Structure 1
Amino acid sequence: MSITERLRRRRMINRENRAIDRAWMSAPTQSMRDEIALMAQRRNF
């Protein structure tokens, strides 16, 4: 894997993490937060 690919991948992971954080913070109920947390744990990098 080249340096460029690693940087691109890291940037994508960071973007996804920020999106998950925003979704978690704006979730109206605790059960939705739990679902978002489960989804985030199961994703593959």
Structure 2
Amino acid sequence: MDNMIDRFRQRRRISRENRAIDRALQSAPTQAMRDELAILAQRRPY
């Protein structure tokens, strides 16, 4: 049961982080900033 709850919490956390990254990419003022955000997003340890 705890394992299922942990997986659910992890999925929620990942979804929340993905939405935050999407918002940051949309509001980034320059292409260079978007590139940096994309690189950081790819390096996330899941």
User: TM range, normalised to the smaller chain?
Assistant: over 0.9
- Runs of 4+ aligned structure 1 residues displaced above 6 Å come to none
Residue 37 of structure 2 aligns with which residue?
Answer: 36
**Percent of residue pairs identical:** 62
Which residue number in structure 2 is paired with residue 27 of structure 1?
28
The question of 1:12 aligning with 2:17 is answered no
Count, aligned residues: 45
**How far is the alpha carbon of 1:38 from its aligned partner?**
0.2
Give 1:23 shift.
0.2
Superposed CA deviations along residues 1-45 of structure 1, whole A, max 9, x for unmatched, are 711000000000000000000000000000000000000001101
Q: Normalising by structure 2, what TM-score?
A: 0.93
Structure 1 spans left out of the alignment, 5+ residues: none
CA RMSD of aligned residues (A): 1.0
